[in-house]
Structure 1
Amino acid sequence: MNIGEIFNQNGRLTGSIATRTIDLPRIGLRKVVSENDKAPVYEILALNIARRWVQIGALWEAVSKRGEVFLAGNIDDPSLPEPRPIALFPADHGGYMVAWRRDTMRSDFGGSMGASRTNYDDRGSRDQGGFGDSTVGAGGERSGTDAPFEEEDPF
């Protein structure tokens, strides 16, 4: 889902990002100068209410399965419940289109560029067991209930 756009204006990459809950009307990308291969390519800056530029994220160069180069990173701020993963794709006007990425089930198994995902149960408690506790005992018997196991497939 596209949530913003970055334009190259007089050699500066500036634009905006907006969603239902986030409104960043002035953001900028500042090139990172580093000899470290793991350093980000850009820092993401936002103009705060005091009209100061503050860092809210970083972007690294990534390559799609089809060989297309794009930027990927996160927007983060103490006011957000968790970092928001984003990707920037080159646009015809010399800037970037900003897309938001939602974690998928693949991230539970190490996908989505290392992003982690916290699972919560119906009561809002953190689910520590992934798929929950097993209903099978050590000897293969059904545990956790006195009801006999039904041979018929319930699905």
Structure 2
Amino acid sequence: MNIGEVSLQNGRLMGRIATRTIDLPRIGLRAVESQNPRAPRFEVVALNVARRWVQIGALWEAEMKKTGEVFLAGNIDDPSLPEPLPVALFRNESGGYAIAWRRDTLRSEAGGSGFGASNYDMQGGEASGRYDAGQDSGFGESTAGPDGTMTREMAPFGAGEDDDVGF
């Protein structure tokens, strides 16, 4: 099911996601610069109610097994959501992406065509179904300590103005 789109606007990939219960009218894709081969290709950022850009997801390059088509896959997540929203972005003719959502099904967990987090490792292969806390996720170290306090400063996403996109 298509739930949004991203297009090139003023040199940036900007768009929207909307479902019956989620409305993200301003999202952006920020390229991730990393030497880690497991790092995501893009961070998904959204304009929050305070008009600041916040990260709400990450996207990895994946490849369809049957056709070899390359697409972006990942999750949108926020404390306000009951669970992560699995998404895939497919290139369109205008150079942007169509955003699709799909609920994981028994078929997908049995090796079918789903691409949700429970059955796809975002690196082009099947997932083990377990999270290994000791494995490098590609995101680097956490900024939160064991008690939830910030352990180091994060770089600001931007000035917070609607027209001043900070990525």
**Same fold (TM > 0.5):** yes
1 or 2 for the larger relative contact order (CA 8 Å, sep ≥6)? 2
CA–CA separation in structure 2 for the residues paired with 1:53 and 1:101 = 26
Q: Partner letter of residue 19 of structure 1?
A: T
Q: Could you tell me how far 1:102 is from its partner in structure 2? A: 1.1
CA–CA separation in structure 2 for the residues paired with 1:10 and 1:70 = 23
Instruction: Provide the residue aligned with 2:140 in structure 1.
Output: none
Instruction: Provide the residue aligned with 1:9 in structure 2.
Output: 9
1:92 and 2:119 aligned? no
Instruction: Provide the residue aligned with 1:38 in structure 2.
Output: 38
Could you list the runs of 5+ residues in structure 1 that have no partner in the other structure? 118-155
Deviations 1:72-119 (A, max 9, x none): 0000000001100000000111110000021010344466457239xx
1:56 and 2:59 aligned? no
**How many residues are aligned here?**
117
Q: Partner letter of residue 11 of structure 1?
A: G
Instruction: Provide the residue aligned with 2:21 in structure 1.
Output: 21
Deviations 1:25-46 (A, max 9, x none): 0000000000000000000000
Q: Which moved more, 1:73-82 or 1:103-112?
A: 103-112
CA–CA separation in structure 2 for the residues paired with 1:63 and 1:26 = 27
Instruction: Provide the residue aligned with 1:81 in structure 2.
Output: 82
1:116 and 2:149 aligned? no
Deviations 1:37-71 (A, max 9, x none): 00000000000000000000000001112010100
| Bigger radius of gyration | 1
SS of the aligned residue for 2:107 comes to helix
**TM superposition outliers: structure 1 runs of 4+ over 6 Å:** none
> Would the aligned equivalents of 1:107 and 1:115 in 2 still touch at CA under 8 Å?
no
Identity of counterpart residues, as a percentage?
73
1:102 and 2:110 aligned? no
Q: Could you tell me how far 1:10 is from its partner in structure 2? A: 2.0
Pairing of 1:111-150 with structure 2 (within 5 A): 112-113=114-115, 115-116=117-118
> Would the aligned equivalents of 2:13 and 2:29 in 1 still touch at CA under 8 Å?
yes
SS of the aligned residue for 1:51 comes to coil
